[in-house]
A and B are shown apart, each in its own frame.
Chain A
Amino acid sequence: MNCQEVIKFRSVVKRVSRMVRSAAVLLVAAASLTAAVPGDAQASSGAAVPPKQPWSFLGVFGQFDQAALKRGAQVAVQSCLTCHSIKYIKFDQLRQLGFSELEVKAMAEGTGRTKKDPLTSSMDPTAAKESFGVVPPDLSLITKARKGYEDYVYGILVGYASDSDLALANRVMADGKIGAEEAKEVASALLLDGHYPDKMAETLKRMIGGENFNRYFPGNFFAMPQPLMDGAVAYTDGTENSKVQLARDVVTFLAWAAEPTQMERKSLGIKVILYLVVLTIMLYAVKRRIWAKVH
């Protein structure tokens, strides 16, 4: 490097360090602000945040588990479609998941439809409203339409009160009030806020009364009874059909249904970005060459 270059280099270093310093100040300011907020400032609704699940299809190189997709489609058609629609998917599209035309035809006819029909519920919306108080939402976009995305939908499917949860509720509420130790136990088992025993007692009463309790639903109670039980759907590929497995598979399917083009998007993305990186490196080289004359 000649003298001028050294001077220029130093001034660049100085400028960069100044920029880094001001960026650091901004970051610290932002971080101290977020640190001041206990959890999410919106967490007042009281529902627990569903834990993250290791979905194979997320991330830059993530791919769908094809077997899980097929099983999930089976769960969706045999279980979810009883009340919900998945109207942006047609039966015929399920062939993209590896079903044969005959299989698709059989699935469609099993619910009284043809393969050209969308996956709509056989339940009449008015009847649904009468029995549940709400029309069950369409599930086509459900994994994109809720905070927490796939993890939330999975959390809802497995977050209902189990028999042991109910036994706990009955035991705790036997004397009509909740002690400090009991509050802790209930809080950790049902993911409730242990600071408000009165509110907790109210929740347990409703739970014992047979309302649909769910750990992960904001407000804990909603119209949908537990949709998936152990063994609810008979798998043909030998996979264990536990509730948890059914939930995992159907969420995988719903994530596909929410955006069937997502794998095309990701594979195109790699090519586009690699191209841009090479192009940008070349542009930078040309830029340096042209600017070498300027002092």
Chain B
Amino acid sequence: MSKIMEWVDARLPVTELLKSQATEYPTPKNLNYWWNFGSLALLVLIIMIATGLFLAMHYKADANQSFDVVEHIMRDVNYGWLLRYAHANGASFFFMVVYVHILRGMYYGSYRQPREILWWFGIIIFFMMMGTAFMGYVLPWGQMSYWGAAVITNLMSAIPVIGEDLVVWIWGGFSVGDPTLNRFFALHFLLPLVIFGVVILHLWALHAVHSNNPDGIDLHDAKDSIPFHPYYTIKDFYGYGIFMIIFCIFVFYAPNFFLEPDNYIPANPMQTPAHIVPEWYFLPFYAILRSIDFLGSFSKLAGVLAMVGAIMILFVLPFLDRSPVRSFRYRPLSKQLFWIFVVDCIVLGWVGYNPADATIFNGALPLIIIGRTCTAIYFGYFFLLWAITALDIEKHQPVPKSI
């Protein structure tokens, strides 16, 4: 055995790689369970690619056939229902896991120097995930697939000068139709593989600078770190177990929990659903889009810019945060802002779920007002985080010297 490994190692240093990147790869010993969500995201990505591959073997992208083909997978393909339900719920769980992963990074300052590139790769993955999920949702060609695609692609028409032509180019026609479905399928197949590539870059960037930790301090002492394997491999596997239990409860016992009933109605270009609602993971951004409605003919463009800006602003987060301390554990003001931000995102999601003209308190308070306020708070988080750190308003608590 060792002879064989010697032969391989002389040509491809596998042992050396395992040693430097796993069995001797130094990891902070104080990582809490929030650090499980990165490896969980990788697990879900693998589940999505595996189930997606087998679904693609049975699926047909065709405006006249896709709806029937999905039902064929549900009814006639061996364990087709399992593939589809795991894939559909997997999308929701992917976003849940990734949202926790992003928020963990924001709370413990994982985006700070020297991890900016690592952070940027993460945002790129997130952005591509949104595109992939959106196009995947179109493939069953139900009512929500069709009208969701129509609403979202139509946003491109807000781009000045080229907008209208761009939308026709994306559709491959003068409305969402068969060509749109086909290109979305092709891209939906391609993008996850690109995501996988960027995940490798994300891991490369991680291993170059090593993990952040809940205290947000650099590791000086050898006592502060433990090898990734076996400590974090077993911890990640334990996390996988917990995750799979929760995931399977949904797949086997509430598989349609995250799905809109309307998407079990075949796409009908002649009949708009009463209420077009995106998947839950897009709702906060959808609410931001709709909250800009007071700029007359510029509203649409401004809404789109606000929606895209809500993600793009994450790119500059490393430069907005000027605190000498990374972890919010020792930053009382930042910590409060962070929790306001989290609640704000949930409220935005709720606003996005309801119709644009909905009201509460018997009509006294239109939801659009809440939507605008929450949009302001969303961007306000980034401004205030900069303000309290750049202007030295926040007094941080003492930070430990070592873990």
Contact = CB atoms under 8 A, between A and B. Distances in A.
B103 interface: no
Interface residues of B, number: 47
A294 interface: yes
Interface stretch (B174-182, B287-295, B304-312, B359-367): B359-367
B7 interface: no
A42 B275 contact: yes
A280 B238 contact: yes
A273 B350 contact: no
Interface string A86-102: 00100000000000000
B230 A290 contact: yes
B24 interface: no
A286 B234 contact: yes
Given A280-B238, A294-B231, A273 B74 contact: no
A60 B251 CA distance: 12
B379 interface: no
Contact of A294 (B29, B339, B346, B355): B29
B261 A259 contact: no
A166 interface: no
B342 interface: yes
B235 interface: yes
B350 A276 contact: no
Interface residues of A, number: 46
25 contacts: A15-B32, A22-B339, A137-B265, A145-B264, A147-B261, A260-B75, A261-B74, A261-B75, A265-B82, A265-B252, A266-B253, A268-B252, A269-B253, A272-B248, A276-B241, A276-B245, A277-B245, A280-B238, A280-B241, A280-B244, A283-B234, A286-B238, A287-B234, A290-B231, A291-B235
Interface of B: 29, 32, 71, 74-75, 81-82, 85, 226, 230-231, 234-235, 237-238, 240-242, 244-245, 248-249, 251-253, 255-256, 261-262, 264-265, 274-275, 339, 342-343, 346-347, 350, 354-355, 358-362, 367
Interface of A: 15, 22, 25-26, 29-30, 33, 36-38, 41-42, 45, 60, 88, 137, 140-141, 144-147, 149, 218, 259-261, 264-266, 268-270, 272-273, 276-277, 279-280, 283-284, 286-287, 290-291, 294
